[in-house]
Amino acid sequence: MLSKYKFKGYARISGAVHRRHLNFQKILGKGTMHSKFIVSDKRSFYLGSANLDWRSLNQKMELGVIVKECPCLAEDLSNVFDTYWELSSDGTATLDSVHRVNQREASYNMRSPLRVIHKGAPTDVFIATSPPLLNGPRRTWDLEAILRAINDSKAYLYIHVMDYFPMFVYSKPRRYWPVIDDAIRKAVFRGVEVKMLVAALHYPALGLRFLSSLESLSGINTNGSIEARIFKVPTPAAMQTVMVRERRTHNKFVVTDDTIIIGTSNWSGDYFDGGSTGAAFVAQQHGAGEEGRPLVAEMKGIFLRDWYSEYTHSVSEYTEKCLLTRTGAFCEADKDPALLATSQQ
């Protein structure tokens, strides 16, 4: 299932490729197709942040998970695809079609995950999705999975996401949406160490203000802390203008003491509560130390690698050099409306 904009111009091989358009503006009056996953033979799958175009696979910073030979979970994700496929069957789907579509029951969820063994460690996994309207019986909403991970964090909470806005940023009029923001603030008050890696690609004057507000909580008690950094993928000076903004982090994941979530949604109300589709792979490990939580340790290592890289910039530095004085060599280029339309990315 592809957005019509992603598939336009591709050669269609007769009998080998079948494609359909899923128009959420027509069905729900809002939202977009934002899931990114591939299921193979109902045995293996990929789920992650990358769109299926050369820019995502060559220019952007992406992260996803490949699950091999796990038919139980692959079939569960395939059921999500089947819902999309059925909704797009004749191109005339409406809101009434959503209630008639055969929404298959989730095999696993937040309360009843699948137990697998990863590198010798017991690991509980499940697939969570958005929007709730399309979720079949027993399917966990990906927002609920993220909130549980944040609320259950005890020592650390590391977030890497392209867009972070506690609001509906793409709809008019814009509305405040504090659901995740409130949970992060509560984590700081509980004494959790919070680190956030975010891009400053869309509406930076807005996004940086929210990040500054979160940072103001650092040191409010003896244990909790919060720091945000802007991650900018370096762009060669000779890069064509049209590609400058494609050199960006597009990651969407969170890692805590015992949980990792790799998703497809940016963190704003538009994605979780605005009718857009999204999917997330959720895994929990409760063993002792890094040996008992190898997947958590691996994701933590990936986050910290990027956190301590030369490509991160403090919120204050980015604000000063990219918004106020425009003297930074690392700033995101302004969006050229003639080249790129305003839309959810």
The runs of H, that is alpha helices, within the chain are: 4-7, 24-27, 54-58, 71-87, 95-100, 142-152, 179-190, 204-215, 241-244, 269-273, 289-292, 294-307, 315-318
244 near 333, Cβ under 8 Å? Answer: yes
Both tokens of 19, joined, read 């494609």
User: How far apart are the two ends of the chain, measured CA to CA in Å?
Assistant: 17
> Is the alpha carbon torsion for 205, 248, 126, 224 positive or negative?
negative
Coil/strand/helix, residue 319: helix
Q: What is the side-by-side strand order in the sheet with 37-40? A: 37-40, 44-48, 64-67
What residues contact 72, with CB distance under 8 A and at least 6 apart?
107, 108, 114
**How many CA atoms within 13 Å lie on the side-chain side of 271?**
27
279 near 128, Cβ under 8 Å? Answer: yes
Backbone angles phi, psi at 44, to 5 degrees: -135, 160
Residues serving a catalytic function are 34, 36, 41, 250
